[in-house]
Amino acid sequence: VYHTPEEVPSDCLPGCAAVIDVLRASSTIAAAIDAGAEAVRVFRDIEPLLEASEGIEEDKRIRAGERGGQKVEACEFGNSPLAFTPENTEGRQLFLSTTNGTRCSESVCNASNVIMASLTNRQAVVNYLATKRPGTVWLVGSGWQGSYSLEDTVCAGAVIDGILIAEKTPLAELTGNDEAIAAVALFRQWQDQLPELLMSASHGQRLLKMRGQADVAYCAQLDVLDTLPIQRGIGTFVQRKP
Ligand code: MLT
């Protein structure tokens, strides 16, 4: 478990990297794929996003940009998972750049497999990791501008807890992996009060002030999407086919 992309050692790339940005990029990417997006292309910066989307017909693309939790002027959408519906997303390519989540994705883009993990698609992530068994799994929280994020850690704990249950493995098996044990303990303490935990997290508080409860409440839902965004080509995520 890494709490920010900066913690990820450059040689960690074999195995599977799960990018976690519960508030809100990985929740948004799962929501957009679930709403029928053909692909989600993530960008560190806005300029390359605008250039790459320039050649796509307007009715075949959505440009979504967020900085500091607010929508970027040059994009039609911000980074709310609630904005993506089958009516406005089906069959389109989503071009997305956010403050931390899409940058986190770029930091692990050369791993053997890269998936998007959030609370909403936690079980789909567990099912993939428990069956695919990709060797080392790196759960990488996006954090906030290089600092720790409570919601990303509780999501990492939820994923590990799901795998421990699926494999009938006791928590003690994780001996020595302090970050993983702490993440599972956090999830087991709060699994029945995830909205409360996210509302009290620093980025949850930021979003509450800016946008009200809807986004935070949506992102706090556990196991509501059977969607697994997986990287097919650097920076391009699609629904993993079973
Ligand atoms: C992030 O990239 O850190 C988040 O997605 C920011 C946000 O949109 O709330």
The mean predicted confidence, pLDDT, of the chain is 94
Q: Is 99 in the pocket of ligand 1 (CB under 6 A)?
A: yes
Cα–Cα distance, 144 to 226 (Å, whole number):
27
Answer whether residue 21 shows pLDDT above 70: yes
Which tens digits make up the pLDDT trace of 4-18? 988 888 776 678 999
Which tens digits make up the pLDDT trace of 194-208? 999 999 999 999 999
Residue 133: per-residue pLDDT:
79
Which tens digits make up the pLDDT trace of 182-192? 999 999 999 99
Residue 136: per-residue pLDDT:
87
Answer whether residue 181 shows pLDDT above 70: yes
Cα–Cα distance, 21 to 24 (Å, whole number):
6
Neighbours of 52 (CB within 10 A): 16
Evaluate whether 53 touches 61 at the Cβ level (below 8 Å).
yes
Lowest-confidence region among 11-20, 33-42, 77-86: 11-20
Residue 12: per-residue pLDDT:
63
Stretch 24-31: mean pLDDT, rounded? 98
Sheet (strand 236-239) strand order? 70-71, 61-67, 93-97, 39-42, 236-239, 229-231, 113-117, 16-20, 137-141
Which tens digits make up the pLDDT trace of 119-178? 999 999 999 999 887 888 999 999 988 899 999 999 999 999 999 999 999 999 888 899
Closest residue by Cα to residue 203 from 158, 242, 150, 161: 150
Residue 132: per-residue pLDDT:
84
Closest residue by Cα to residue 186 from 203, 200, 167, 168: 200
Residue 139: per-residue pLDDT:
96
Cα–Cα distance, 118 to 3 (Å, whole number):
14
State the distance from the centre of ligand 1 to the C-alpha of 108, rounded, in angstroms.
17
**Ligand 1 atom at minimum distance from 101 CA:** 2
Q: Is 107 in the pocket of ligand 1 (CB under 6 A)?
A: no
Q: Is 79 in the pocket of ligand 1 (CB under 6 A)?
A: yes
Residue 207: per-residue pLDDT:
95
State the distance from the centre of ligand 1 to the C-alpha of 34, rounded, in angstroms.
19
Residues 6 or more apart whose CB falls under 8 angstroms from that of 214 comprise 80, 82
Q: Is 25 in the pocket of ligand 1 (CB under 6 A)?
A: yes
pLDDT class for 81, splitting at 50, 70, 90? Answer: very high
pTM: 0.96
**Ligand 1 atom at minimum distance from 80 CA:** 8
